Copies of this chain bind each other. A is one copy, B any other.
Amino acid sequence: MNESSKITVFAYSKDQFEEKRVKKVEEALNYKEYSVVWINIDGIEHLEELKRIFGFHDVAIKAILRAKSRARVAILKDHLFILLHQVYELKGGLKKERTAIFLKDNFVITLQERSGDVFNSIRESIRHGEGIFRERGADYLTFALLDAIVENYVPILENISTQMEVVENKVLKNGDKDTLRKIHGIRRRILFARRTIFPLLEVFRRLRLEGKEFFTEETQGYLEELYNHVMEVLDIIENQREMASGLVEIYYSTLSMKTNDIIRILTVVSTIFIPLTFITGIYGMNFNSKISPYNMPELNWYYGYPITLLMMLAIALGMLYYFKRKEWL
């Protein structure tokens, strides 16, 4: 087995199974007597070869080459072409990579941008003859591959949900600038997930409607189940979107409430002390009380100072009572 080769052939029938790494796509044709031949290719270097050998349509090749391709299904002459994305987290953001699946006769060809491990459990099942793979045809394998990819979206979404709960708790306690950035990041990721997964609805809807010649009735039941699964995933995303925009609203509200708190403190302190300071200002004036009995006679009263202090205390208490009644304290 050549370790550096990126083409792997899984060929199996009811009672037989062979797995081999090959260098050229052509070598896979030797296995065509098996019921199912799955050729898994990492990277997109062998596209031309595939086109030549299997006669895949030009538009499929084009779609794989375009970096921003949308998930899609196409029935092209004698083969079925499905393009969809695997989503994974990378450095705090989400990334997606294209995965192409061709179904032609008993051949299933999968192309992945980089070697991933989403299909590992399927590989294991085939190797050890688990499940019903060996009893079914290439259409069931196609279903299983699609199922593995869709199944893989769920932990990504659960991760987002967890992050959202963390942020939600923070927001409800106190909302700093960092929290805002985090909410923004989460919304980005939700939008990304939605944009990637939404086209799958159309893909599975068309598979159900138009894929009858490629799938046995049995497998069609599974495809319908897959459609439901995508609906569930989209339900979760829709929900997360609403919750995230609810988070923004709460964020605003806590911000406003904080401003309110701050201003209330300012107002309470100011409105209590400003009048008092005014009074001290009055008795700090230098009017000449020797010239006239009307000029600040209070300064020379026997109880002038204590009376003034008491008066100020009364004002302060009155204010405090007023604020208390207004529930500002």
Interface hit among A18-26, A35-43, A93-101, A249-257: A249-257
Complex Cα gap A116–B278 (Å): 70
How many copies, total? 5
Cβ contact within 8 Å between A306 and B280: no
Least CB separation from A291: chain B residue: B300
From B222, B250, B262, B305, A260 is in contact (CB under 8 Å) with B262
> A273 — which chain B residues lie within 8 A by C-beta?
274-275, 277-278
Chain A interface size, under 10 / 10 to 19 / 20 to 34 / 35 or more? 35 or more
A residues bordering B, Cβ < 8 Å? 57-59, 62-63, 66, 68-70, 72, 74, 76, 154, 172, 174, 177, 180-181, 184, 187-188, 191, 195, 199, 221-222, 224-225, 228-229, 231-232, 235-236, 238-239, 242-243, 246, 248-260, 262-267, 269-271, 273-278, 280-289, 291-292, 294-296, 298-306, 308-309, 327-328
Pick 29 A–B contacts, CB within 8 A, sort by A: A57-B221, A58-B221, A58-B222, A62-B225, A66-B229, A68-B232, A69-B228, A69-B232, A70-B228, A74-B224, A180-B253, A195-B235, A195-B239, A199-B231, A199-B235, A256-B259, A259-B263, A262-B264, A269-B271, A269-B275, A270-B274, A273-B275, A278-B280, A280-B282, A280-B284, A281-B284, A288-B304, A292-B302, A294-B302
